[in-house]
Amino acid sequence: MSTDDKLTALKQVQELIINKDPSLLDNFLDEMIAFQTDKSIEVRKFVIGFIEEACKRDNELLLKLIANLNMLLKDESVNVASPWTEETVRQCLYLYLSLLPLNHRLVHELAAVYTEAIADIKRSVLRVIEQPIRGMGMNSPDLLLLVENCPKGAETLVTRCLHILTDKVPPSPDLVERVRDLYHKRVPDVRFLIPVINGLEKKEVIQALPKLIKLNPIVVKEVFNRLLGTQHSEGSPSMSPLTPGELLIALHNIDSTKCDMKSIIKATNLCFGEKNVYTSEVLAVVMQQLMEQNPLPMLLMRTVIQSLTMYPRLGGFVMNILSRLILKQVWKYPKVWEGFVKCCQRTKPQSYSVLLQLPPAQLISVFERCPEMREPLLQHVRSFTPHQQAHIPSSIMAILEASSRMQEPEPQREPEHMEQVMMPVAQAEAPAPSVTAVHETVPPQSGSIKREEEEPMEEGEADLERLQVVSEATTQVRVSSVYILTV
């Protein structure tokens, strides 16, 4: 039978039932439903439209349809293509899904069928339910009940419904409460929280972060889009429980025993990828608050360097951060200290004034990591006026000048008379002694280093005056002035 012939016959049946005797629908119900899986889209649409209209006239008809459609999905003997394809599933579900907005109770039957369906059918169902679920809305009592009860095996169906409902509008308080109870009392899968994450309390989001950022990168991106308000939504974006700055700070404070550092770093990179959200002002506040924490977060300097790379104009502010980290004895945190040195290396000559504030032992440590910085820093100090140089401690000058007195490894010992002859040449050609040698052969300076190493934070007013003069001298003589921002 051609499509036109089918449509002609169906229209005749419709005319007979609707206009003459509605009770005749019982006689033709099975035949009409059979046409909803017809290969012709025109035939399927006609049948679905007809049955929708009939259901509006007779609510009891829905109960008969439920039993019929459930059997269609469950009965393996149904004459459909084998194996199930998305098209055949759509054909079987067209009528069911079109009736869902008319009677929300059908969603429970759908969930019951879903739990028993094979994997191919489940995947197809998840793809075709968007429109009817949107038509029901998140305030539907039956949808809320489905979330609350969440039949075993229907978790993915419920999650899909939640995403559909909250994709473009914020979650309702009732929906948030149902999901919260489901997560804490029955199914502790953090993925349930994602659709309603903007409806949770700040502490709830922070507690869930370690689990959330370990999910698939695409899922993590969706989480951050919701929290940062960068997802496409209708009307005004929903209020996030965390500001962008609070989110980045929370990532730095995640316990490394609860989440691997690689996942944390990837999450912070997602934040830096949203330049429209993470402006220089936001990052300045983040750095300030991270720097004030005790203990210092392990990723502090990584964030400082990333912020400076993104916004070079933060250079002066970063110098202020580095100076304050010296007061917090940053060298006691190995990972942060490593980043501190790297930051100084990248920001020279702007960082010279910071390096001159370090205690002797820590300045030696810097030169051990970056020996190429010693000579430029020495030349920088030598450009000071005599009055300014007088405020540089002798222990610091000894470390800086060590490069000009470094000696090569001692050659084989010459005869005594040759030593006397070659001494002037050797003295002229030999490099300066190593830092260690200076440290050992100048007792007064070594003692000074030891005292400053033991009590680097208790210098008093004289030390503060010294640092101030050093900083002033540095500002006067370098080519590019240092602008230290205050917060």
Does 449 map to a domain? yes
Last residue of a domain, one of 136, 162, 184: 136
Does 142 map to a domain? no
pLDDT value at position 341? 98
Sign of torsion over alpha carbons 113, 117, 120, 126: positive
In one letter, which amino acid is 95? Answer: L
Tell the residue number behind the tokens 């098209």, with chain if given.
87
CA distances from 246 to 261, 290, 304, 307, 311 (A): 19, 11, 16, 16, 20
Residues 375/469, Cβ–Cβ less than 8 Å: no
Does 322 map to a domain? yes
Provide CB contacts within 8 A for 464, sequence distance 6+.
none
Q: State how many domains the chain has.
A: 2
| Mean of per-residue pLDDT scores for the chain | 79
pLDDT value at position 468? 46
Does 389 map to a domain? yes
**pLDDT at residue 27 above 80?**
no
Does 272 map to a domain? no
**Per-residue pLDDT tens digits for 100-140:** 888 898 899 889 989 988 888 899 899 989 999 999 999 99
Does 318 map to a domain? yes
pLDDT value at position 11? 82
C-alpha–C-alpha distance, residues 18 and 25, integer Å? 9
Nearest to 54 by CA among 90, 14, 94, 12: 14
**Per-residue pLDDT tens digits for 440-476:** 333 333 333 333 333 333 343 444 344 444 444 444 4
In a 10 Å sphere around its CB, with 0-12 CB exposed, 13-18 middle and 19+ buried, how is residue 271 labelled? buried
Last residue of a domain, one of 114, 136, 158: 136
Please report which confidence band the pLDDT of residue 6 belongs to, taking 50, 70 and 90 as the band edges: confident
Q: Out of 15-29, 154-168, 261-275, 451-465, pick the least confident.
A: 451-465
Does 93 map to a domain? yes
Provide CB contacts within 8 A for 248, sequence distance 6+.
268, 271, 278, 286, 303
pLDDT value at position 264? 97
Last residue of a domain, one of 110, 136, 162: 136
**pLDDT at residue 429 above 70?**
no
C-alpha–C-alpha distance, residues 352 and 474, integer Å? 7
pLDDT value at position 8? 84
CA distances from 337 to 252, 261, 301, 329, 333 (A): 16, 18, 8, 9, 6
Alpha helices in 58-85 (DSSP H): 60-74
**pLDDT at residue 375 above 60?**
yes
Q: Which domain holds residue 381?
A: 279-404+431-487
Please report which confidence band the pLDDT of residue 47 belongs to, taking 50, 70 and 90 as the band edges: confident
Query: How large a percentage of the chain has pLDDT more than 90?
Result: 53
Residues 303/284, Cβ–Cβ less than 8 Å: no
Does 437 map to a domain? yes
When pLDDT is averaged across residues 139-167 and rounded to a whole number, the result is 95
**Per-residue pLDDT tens digits for 239-285:** 899 999 999 999 999 999 999 999 999 999 999 999 999 999 999 99
HEC letters along 90-107: HHHHHHHHHHCCCCCCHH
